[in-house]
Structure formats: structure tokens, C-alpha cells
Structure 1
Amino acid sequence: MAEINNSSLSSELRVPEHIAIIMDGNGRWAKRSGQPRIAGHKEGMNNVKRIATAASHMGVKVLSLYAFSTENWSRPSKEVSFLMRLPVDFFGTFMPDLIKENIKVLVTGFTDHLPEKTKKVVFKAMDDTKDNTGMILNFAFNYGGRAEIVNAAKNLAKEAVNGSISPDDIDDKLFADQLLTSPLGSLADPDLLIRTSGEERISNFLLWQLAYTEMVFDKTYWPDFTKDNLIEDIKLFNDRDRRFGAI
């Protein structure tokens, strides 16, 4: 793991290679200030750039952000339409900064089900940054952990039926290769999961990949989450003893 030496830190910290964040609290942040929920989502989008840049400078290799779940389609249509426009606004505004920071964009989710305009912009973002060699900014968009696992099981079942594999061939690696996070290779499993807003659940996010992930539930609403919050959560991660089932 990389180490950071920040003037606000008393000592060097080990930086998780893969940090995943459930960006929660946008709606409550807006309500607190008397604004509509979409104002919170907009400010949350602006914060993605700030936190992604900070994480990149710290040496994080993958930053996975839970942007839209397969269950979020049940929200009011006006809010869903706004959330579908956010990638268009985000990449339209911040792409020069992502290129400058050498950040590579990845979108993990069931992208075939996205509106055409949204789909077009996310694929363009991935294509425009495919040669970047810095941090991977991985957006989980139209993503659901259970659907991902079911999809992987179906794919392996089809291969077994057509004789490409035997059921006995299926192990952790073969299964993980069928997951939506397989492009991340050895970095697919987060070292640290942060959920903002104080809620303490994982909400169908990376169910397979979080098997041995350290979790921090930060009370800060996502639009207010800063680099200092990130550092404090990494400090908590450093206090954990990760044994992966061993002694």
C-alpha cells in the first residue's frame, strides 16, 4: 500500500489501494438547507471531483463510487431523470480535469439498461481515458450486487451446459472473472468501504467483493465530505488488524 505524508497527519499512513464509497446523504443535505433533493445530488456530483482528486494525490489506485443502484429506478421519475443527466453534466464539466490528473474512468453496472444519451457519454468517458495510467475512478452506475451475482451464475451455467467448463471447474477465481468488477483484476476487492451520512448498511453494493473489506460509517453527508474526512477514515482503517480469517 502507498503511504501518505500530509502536514495534517502526525505520522505516515498506509493508504488503501482500493477505496469504495457509498455516497449517501445528498437528499438530507439539501433538505437541511431548504433545497430540493436534486440540489443535493448536484452538489454531491461536484464533490466527486474534489474527493477523486484528493484520493488520486494520496496514491489510491481504485476509487469506486456507488452512484446509482438497480433499486434507485423506484425513486420519483423526476429525480431519476435528473440522476441520469448527472453523468452528462459531470463528464462534460470535469473531463479536462480527469485527463490532467491522469485518471482512468470505469463504469461498473448494467449499462445496457441506461438511457441512450447517458450510455453514450459514459462509454465516451471510458474511451477518452482508456490510456490514462493513474487512479481508476470506478462509477457503480445501475449496479446491484445481487443482480451481479445472479448474472455471473447464469453465465457460468451456460458455459457448463455447452461444455466449455465442468461444474467442478468453478472456483472463486472463475466466479470473480464473471463479475462486473473483473476489469479491475487483482484490485477488484476494496480494502476500505466508507458510507457517508451515518447509515450503517451496504445497500446491495459489491456483495461478493466486500467479503474482507474494512468498513467505516461516517456521519458526514456526502456533499460535506472532505479530504480531511477521507484522511480520518483512512486513519481508522490503519487501526484495524486485517487477518483475512487467519490468526
Structure 2
Amino acid sequence: MKDKQESLIQLKREISQTVDYWVCYRVGRTLYQVSVQEQANGQTNEGEVTTERFPFYFGMKQRMRQLAEEKEALGFRPLTEAEQAAHVIDEPEEPPLDPGFFEPAIRLAWLLLGLGILLFVLPYERLNNFAFGLGLYVWYETFGQVGLPKFFRRYFHGMFGALMVLQVLSAFELEREVQPYYASLSVLSAVMLVLLVVQYHLKETDQIGQDKRVSRRKITEYPDFDE
């Protein structure tokens, strides 16, 4: 229950013959705001869904509280327990990856694979610097991608941490010792990029003919929210 409360805020305001609902919730690192207005005759007007994307999870809770305080200043109030049981929204799907990302991803995968092979067969320590620089570039390119699956996002963040460790070890004149690790990390990262592209295309194939638009129904008909 605590996690649910922290990831979902529901407010209500009654003005004359209309009732305004405002809902703020987070899915992954995306913050959503939904506004719905119900009139006395039963007509429902749905507002535009507003999203905010955060590079990290830090700051999301504070942002939700800030938005809620702004709404409360406009006359909104938190829903009662009875109202909360009936006014909860569906969890939307994460936005898909931009297909334009996959062409450079394949090029980067080939570069990583080739560099990894060179690191395995050539005892040339300066190749470590190329592996470090290319790895940072790959992390930077994946870091800002909206819709990157959580597994791949965690891997590339882990790759960034591993690169930092290897670079520190290289500063202690351990270039030769860390070279196999640079090679392994480069090859593994190339494989992960290819798997990311393959997974996307397999998913797209399975979803042919399906409508992937996020459903926004009348707020009183939403089932229980569970992130």
C-alpha cells in the first residue's frame, strides 16, 4: 500500500455542476498527469495526458508533491478512501523505442565487436583507451533513449560503472591486466545491442494489427492501479 501511495496521487475538485479529477502517477522514470472532468449529466471530458521523463529516479517523488501542492492551491483535495477505491487509473505502457536508434546501434555493435576482437589478439595497450571512449559513447547514446527496456538500461549503466573501474586500474599501470576485461566488455556490449534490436523487431512482429495506443477511459471505471 505504501508503494502505491508513493507512486500515485489523486485529487478532486467540485465546482458547481462539474467535478474535476487530477491524477499524477509514475511508471518507470516517466511521470504522468491526467485530468478528467465529469459533468452533472454524466458527460466526461478527458484532458490531455502530460508526461515528464526523468533520466534517473531521483527527484520524481519531490516533483509529484510539488505538482500536488500546486493543484491543492487551486482548490483540489485528496480523495477519500472510498473515492480512491473507485477512481484509480490503468497503468500505461512504456513508450516504445525510436526505430531510428537501431541503425546507429547496429553500427556501434560492429565497432564494439571488431574492437573486442582486436583487444583479444593484439597486445596493444592503447586500444584500451579506444574501448573506454567507445563504451562511454555507447552508454551516452543509450542513456537518453525513451522506452529502453529496464534490463538493457541496467546493463548499460553497469557497463558504465565497469568502464570507470577499468580506467582507474589502468591509471595504476595495469593496462595489460585489464585488457581482456575491456575485450570481453566490448564483445558483450555488442551482443546486447544486437539483442536489443532483435527483441524490438520480434515484438513488433507479434504486435502487427494490434492497437498500441494508451487507453484512457472514464475515471470511475478504472480498476486498481498496481505499478
What TM bracket, shorter-length normalisation? Answer: under 0.3
TM-score by length of 1: 0.22
Say which one has the larger Rg. Answer: 2
TM-score normalised to structure 2 length: 0.23
Higher helix residue share: 2
